A and B are shown apart, each in its own frame.
Chain A
Amino acid sequence: MYDFEFERPATVADAVAALRTEGAQVLAGGQTIIPTMKNRLAQPVKLVSVGGIADMSGVSVGDGCLTVGAATCHADVAAAAAGAYPALASLAANIGDPAVRNRGTIGGSIANDDPASCYPAAVLASGADIITDRRRLAADDFFLGMFETALEEGELILEVSFPIPDAASYQKFEQPASRFALVGAFVARSGGLVRVAITGASDSGVFRWREAEAALSDDFSRSSLNGLALSPEGMISDIHGTPEYRAHLAGVLTARAVEAA
């Protein structure tokens, strides 16, 4: 690993100030960036840890929304969201492994936007808002592609606000080695509107499956997905699955999520 400077601010203002340094990067839970740095695939000049900022951690519920501080670890979300938003809690409870869940955070996960990570599916399907030090971004505007978000240089995610749906479920099919999502499907129904987000499958990262949303908004049942299929075009191809397999899995998992929701 290349060496770097570090700071551990106690307030958001200090963190934002520290991030103005050229080449500075946020260190949230570190569960992705540290392995990346070990393999010398990232070389930040400075890491600004947000682990010491109390305001950025915790889960609260109000106005039909569940709001998660960006530095809240997955284990805490799994525990704190279980009552208000069980689908989100269960998603958090199955990211990585217990030790990873004690460190990894929602902010780190969505800022990295790994195409196989779980949280982006929840954020996108829930229609959540991402609140940063400078603005409020809708999920639909946030994820721009594989490892690509709308975040600007030095912009810090403070919290993510999830409108709590009437019914929701996340179904993850694990890649056998990494245990990331080979494909994951998050289905959320609020009134008559259904949103479906698929992660793990596409070369362009998490995406909404509009045809499924339309069919499910019409009739929220597994059978309304009959005949619908995603095109393998643009799906990820690797040693764990072909594009055809991923497209197929997306359909199966969406159907299972509808059943479980």
Chain B
Amino acid sequence: MPKDFGIGASTKRREDARFLTGNGQYTDDINIHGQAYAHFLRSQVAHGKISAVNVEAAAAMPGVIRIFTGADFEGVGGLPCGWQVTDRHGEPMKEPGHPVLAQGKVRHVGDPIAAVVAESAAEARDAAEAIEVEIEELPAVIDMKAAVEGGPLVHDDIGSNLCYDWGFIEDNRDEVDAAIRDAHHVTTLELTNNRLVPNAMEPRVAVGDYNAANDESTLYTTSQNPHVIRLLMGAFVLAVPEHKLRVVAPDVGGGFGSKIFHYAEEAFCTLAARQLRRAVKWTASRSEAFVTDAHGRDHVTRIELALDDGGHFVAIRTSTLANLGAYLSTFAPSIPTWLHGTLMAGNYRTPLIYVNVRAVFTNTVPVDAYRGAGRPEATFQLERVIDKAARELGIDPIEIRRRNFIAAEDFPYATPVALEYDTGNYHATMDRLEEIADLQGFEARAETSQAKGKLRGLGVNCYIEACGIAPSNLVGQLGARAGLYESATVRVNATGSVTVMTGSHSHGQGHETTFPQVVADMLGIEEGQVNILHGDTANTPMGMGTYGSRSIAVGGAAMVRATEKIISKAKKIAAHLMEASAEDIEFSEGAFKVAGTDKQVAWGDVCLAAYVPHNYPLAELEPGLEETAFYDPANFTFPAGAYACEVELDPETGKVDVCSFAAADDFGNIINPMIVDGQVHGGIAQGVGQALLENAVYDSDGQLLSGSYMDYAMPRADDVPSFTVDHSCQTPCTHNPLGVKGCGEAGAIGSPPAVVNAVVDALSRGGYEVAHIDMPLSPSRVWQAMNA
């Protein structure tokens, strides 16, 4: 019976009322009286030495207030990197500077050279065109192999384009080599994980404001984590202390990782507003977004899977080149390492694994986390090589997976790549998938397709992800320069309503609805009595924000802890009101009862008493009812699942249509099934996009060829089918109070291999023995593979 209230109910989203009526408030909807507008003059070349920037003519243009160049930022810190990776020789990664405005050199198309602040956006842009820039163009390095094999240096001062050469686990290397050398069978696959542009539909915006009366700066920005931006920008770039700096992220129109990072435009608008004593606004155009938002993925990998004669996995060895782009974006170094290498065990008992990643600077836009972040890269190579092995050995692709699954009774399970999975049941999700995808009926559907002249293919795969990256003491050892806890303050108001202030921040996930479901359920009050405040450093406790599917698992847990503290204190107040001992108070359904008696007080009476403390035992009990908790998880959470995709391929044109997609996920306990379904739908569409459509392509000069929606193929409504999703398999997380695992990235992690496996299957059924096609499997690429 579906619940209609609290945890487990598909409560309709309260935020929808404003979004559906045009009353949402996104950053670009904020206009401050007297604001000026910034426009950035950006490099048109991928690599060059700036010999001169002459702003004289531009400064005289109508409406121009001031023009800033790199020289104005010489005394200002660069954009910091939040994670330091140690390479396999024990050396720290190379960490080149990342100036707000280019200092002497430009390193990618889109790198900002100067910024005009003017009375209108159009005047700022007009003047930017009048800036005379002399650039001595240098050869660009775009290809990662060329970059590590002596190509032009992106950063002269570090003497190499290699940021780090990471081995994981380095001590296992020889043993893995030996196992692969001696194996019964080794399947090898070389593949590319295509570079993607996150493309949240809301382009980035920054509005800097300054109040000279109290020397306070405010930045309104499109961010998934305003506290992180305040810390990074305040402490490392502008040297403005937190109490003089407020960062506000109002409604955020999607992020998918791209709005985690601290960007130059945020620091610029904040600083310019301080210097000009008026608000400064910058709104990215989509074209600008393509060359300034951090991109995602972009790995080239060789993976080897060794198997014994029974089809059991013996060892895995991978070698990856990971593109970092021209600068280190905020969390870039952690993506190809700790969020990728640690996932290489997947859902399987592979005793020996070694992962090598060489991370490389190129003259391209910085690369950082994008929905899934490292985990899709791991899942794709693993699930593709397993499929290839199954074909080579003549084993059914589902059977080979089942043969190697970590069994339900094996949990907790320690992988050879440093993770300990607490719970899971991979056979159960696969069983569920076989039902919901009607795999029995596939052959009949294939015949129907054949009658139409189409090739039908079925692709199946599994995935595991590690969400809610934690705990802080571990990630600190791994190089994180931040803690990865989350915070919540629960404020009970005098009349019994509740305001929750959380460091998590929704950018489409519906926290304003789901978080109250949890608190209301715990307090036995109506969901409508609970409100969420988030996205503003002025009224929320320091928190790390929303990414990595962490909000409910970490932020939700903090909220539970704070609510538990509320209940504990409320019991003391109730005990006082009923002249009983706090130990004897029971709380249920919104009432406090003295155990074994019929004495009780209602929630509302206790709340009122907290703020009207007449006859209060002040020595033992403080007035008020407000509690804060910081929750630092003991471990990651490990959602997992099994996905199936059916495609139809037109052999004349190579065009692939996705006919159906089914996802059986285990997310542990679920707060709001409707929202979980929606998260999976969106993730699958992004994964299908990566598999079939999306590709950020640079030419050898470093020009982005897919720099707009005219060439970067976003998945549209007619590119995807309706999906079949199921999350009835639930193995609750053992170490957070809600038993939840997180669901935001699963769809994007699990779906690309299913699509590619399906296309390879379709080709095989049509008599085309194609081992692999690199994503995106565009019609031309499929046709070329068929006609190779």
Contact = CB atoms under 8 A, between A and B. Distances in A.
Q: Do chains A and B touch in the complex (CB under 8 A)?
A: yes
Contacts of B287: 39
A187 to B, nearest CB: 16
A133 B786 CA distance: 51
A178 B705 contact: no
Contacts of A38: 285
A240 to B, nearest CB: 6
A210 to B, nearest CB: 23
Nearest to A246: B780
A252 B653 contact: yes
A177 B709 contact: yes
B712 interface: yes
Given A39-B287, A176-B693, A248-B783, A239 B652 contact: no
Contacts of B654: 245
B695 interface: yes
B778 interface: yes
Contact of A239 (B692, B705, B714): B705
A252 B780 contact: no
A17 interface: no
A141 to B, nearest CB: 30
Given A245-B780, A249-B653, A252-B653, A178 B697 contact: no
Contact of B711 (A39, A177, A248): A177
Contacts of A252: 652-653
Given A1-B122, A245-B780, A239 B653 contact: no
Interface in B709-739: 709-714, 719
B39 to A, nearest CB: 12
Nearest to B650: A252
Contacts of A178: 709-711
B172 interface: no
A177 B780 contact: no
Contacts of A226: none
Contacts of B653: 173, 249, 252
A44 interface: no
A239 B783 contact: no
B784 interface: yes
B706 interface: yes
Contacts of A176: 692-693, 713, 719, 778-779
B710 A177 contact: yes
Nearest to A173: B653
A81 to B, nearest CB: 24
Contacts of A231: none
Nearest to A1: B122
B197 to A, nearest CB: 12
A232 interface: no
Contacts of A11: none
Interface in A173-202: 173, 176-178, 180, 182
A242 interface: yes
Contacts of B713: 176-177
A241 interface: yes
Nearest to B716: A179
B652 A240 contact: no
Interface in B91-141: 122, 126, 129
Nearest to A180: B710
A3 B705 CA distance: 28
A139 B713 CA distance: 33
B626 to A, nearest CB: 50
B703 to A, nearest CB: 12
Interface in B756-779: 778-779
A42 to B, nearest CB: 14
A95 B705 CA distance: 23
B291 to A, nearest CB: 13
A238 B780 CA distance: 11
Contacts of B783: 245, 248
Contacts of A241: 779-780
B711 A239 contact: yes
Q: What is the size category of the interface that chain A forms with chain B?
A: 20 to 34
A239 B126 CA distance: 32
Contacts of A182: 779
Interface string A235-261: 000111110010011001000000000
A240 B709 contact: no
A201 B724 CA distance: 38
Most A Cβ at <10 Å: residue of B129, B706, B709, B780: B780
Interface in A17-72: 38-40
Contacts of B780: 240-242, 245
B778 A240 contact: yes
Contacts of A2: 126
Nearest to A177: B713
A252 B778 CA distance: 17
B44 to A, nearest CB: 13
Contacts of A238: 705, 711
A242 B785 CA distance: 13
A152 B709 CA distance: 32
Nearest to A116: B710
Contacts of A40: 129
Contacts of A177: 693, 706, 709-714
Most A Cβ at <10 Å: residue of B129, B719, B778: B778
B648 to A, nearest CB: 16
A239 B710 contact: no
A242 B711 contact: no
A45 B695 CA distance: 37
A252 B285 CA distance: 39
Contacts of A1: 122
Nearest to B126: A2
Most A Cβ at <10 Å: residue of B122, B129, B287, B783: B783
A180 B697 CA distance: 19
A178 B712 CA distance: 8
B715 to A, nearest CB: 10
A239 B713 CA distance: 11
Nearest to A2: B126
A258 B529 CA distance: 66
Contacts of A240: 711, 778, 780
Contacts of A39: 287
Nearest to A39: B287
Contacts of B695: 239
B229 to A, nearest CB: 29
Interface string B650-667: 001111000000000000
Contacts of A173: 653, 655, 779
Interface string B621-660: 0000000000000000000000000000000111100000
Interface in B684-714: 692-693, 695, 697, 705-706, 709-714
B323 to A, nearest CB: 18
B322 to A, nearest CB: 22
A240 B706 CA distance: 10
B706 A239 contact: yes
Contacts of B122: 1, 3
A173 B780 CA distance: 11
Nearest to A255: B652
Most B Cβ at <10 Å: residue of A3, A177, A242, A249: A177
A1 B122 CA distance: 7
Given A176-B778, A178-B709, A252-B653, A245 B693 contact: no
15 contacts: A176-B692, A176-B693, A176-B719, A177-B710, A177-B713, A177-B714, A182-B779, A239-B705, A239-B711, A240-B778, A240-B780, A245-B779, A245-B783, A248-B783, A249-B653
Interface of B: 122, 126, 129, 285, 287, 652-655, 692-693, 695, 697, 705-706, 709-714, 719, 778-780, 783-784
Top 9 closest pairs, chain A to chain B, by CB: A177-B713, A176-B713, A241-B780, A178-B710, A245-B780, A252-B652, A239-B697, A177-B711, A239-B705
Given A177-B709, A239-B706, 19 more contacts: A176-B778, A176-B779, A177-B706, A177-B710, A177-B711, A178-B709, A178-B710, A180-B710, A182-B779, A238-B711, A239-B695, A240-B711, A240-B778, A242-B780, A242-B784, A245-B784, A248-B783, A252-B652, A252-B653
